[in-house]
Amino acid sequence: MKSHPATPYAFLLPALAVYGLFVLVPIAGSLRMSLFSWGDTPTPVFVGLRNYAQLLGDHVFWRALYNNILLLVASLLLQLPLAAAVAMLLSYKTLCKPLFRMSFFAPMVMPTVAIAILWQYIYLPEGGLASTLVSKILGKPFAYAWLAQPSSSPWLPSPSMFWIFVTICWQYTGFHMVLFMAGIAAIPEELYEAARLDGASEFQICRHIVIPGLKPTIAVSATLSIIGSLKYFDLIYLMAAGLPEADREVMATYIYRLAFDQGQGRFGYGSAAAIMLLLVAIAVVVPIQWSKRKRQ
């Protein structure tokens, strides 16, 4: 469409101004602040790359990154197959299908804070739902601090992270399930019919028709999981608070605690950690986008 050469810029200006001020400027600010020692000393002092050097030797930082990666791997290996399986079960003729869909998706609408509070009660050491279930199965009283288990060796994550991951599954499985349901619905009906005529079993149909047909959906779901796993904050911050310092962090919570936890206020060091998170995000996202573009 033809228009006066200045018009498009006028249309863009307000959005670009807000985006620049509240997204781009803060990132530049982070980069600058990461070169200063700020909070460790009363006034900002330029220290060059010393914050980064310190960060590389900071085992809490590495543990935070490690926890991020573990949660990512867990959601790829456990959550996505679970969501796909539920979607496949629902793809047949089912009683009250909309009810299932609505109920599985419902946690996505809730505030994460509400989910964290609710699940903290489920994980109460004594009398919580989880403990009650186990004691019913064992037939004797049972108490276990689900959310306060320190890790037993430096190479293992805290078992509590797994219980938090269960909550993450509760929150997001319905979402991925909806994506997979849309993916399954996009597979042409004739393919199933042809396969059934040729005498394929349900398992063979699943293996040779549904899973190949779902490839684009799997790619989307996995990408969302990968990008989302770098953004974990609310649940971990609220639910892992009872763990020792080295076990409870992911990248985002570590940045937050460095800067805003009582008595810390280490803005410079926290910014360095934030820039590292940014670099990790770029390192993860750029190859994904690049391969996506190549496929197209």
| Residues of span 257-296 touching another protein by CB under 8 A | 259-260, 267, 270-271, 274-275, 277-278, 281-282, 285, 289
Positions in 61-90 near another protein (CB under 8 A):
86, 89-90
Choice from 108, 134, 209, 246 touching another protein (CB under 8 A) = 108
Among 66, 170, 191, 209, binds another protein (CB under 8 A): 170
Q: Is 186 in the site for another protein (CB under 8 A)?
A: no
Question: Smaller CB distance to another protein: residue 132 or 151?
Answer: 132
The DSSP line for 221-257 is: HHHHHHHHHTT--HHHHHHGGGS-HHHH--HHHHHHH
Q: Does 124 bind another protein (CB under 8 A)?
A: yes
Ranges within 189-228 binding another protein (CB under 8 A): 202, 220, 224, 227
Backbone angles phi, psi at 156, to 5 degrees: -105, 145
Residue from 56, 117, 185, 211 binding another protein (CB under 8 A): 117
Structure tokens at 248: 């409870």
CA distance linking residue 220 with residue 141, whole number of Å: 45
CB count, 10 Å around CB of 227? 14
- Report CA dihedral (242, 66, 220, 291) to the nearest 10 degrees: 160
Instruction: Give the strand pairing for 36-37 and 45-46.
Output: antiparallel
Distance CA 243, CA 249 (A): 9
Taking the least distance from each CB to another protein, the nearer of 90 and 151 is 90
Q: Cβ 158 to another protein, closest distance in Å?
A: 21
Q: Which is nearer to another protein, 151 or 213 (CB)?
A: 213
Strand partners, 37: 45
Total number of residues that touch another protein (CB under 8 A): 92
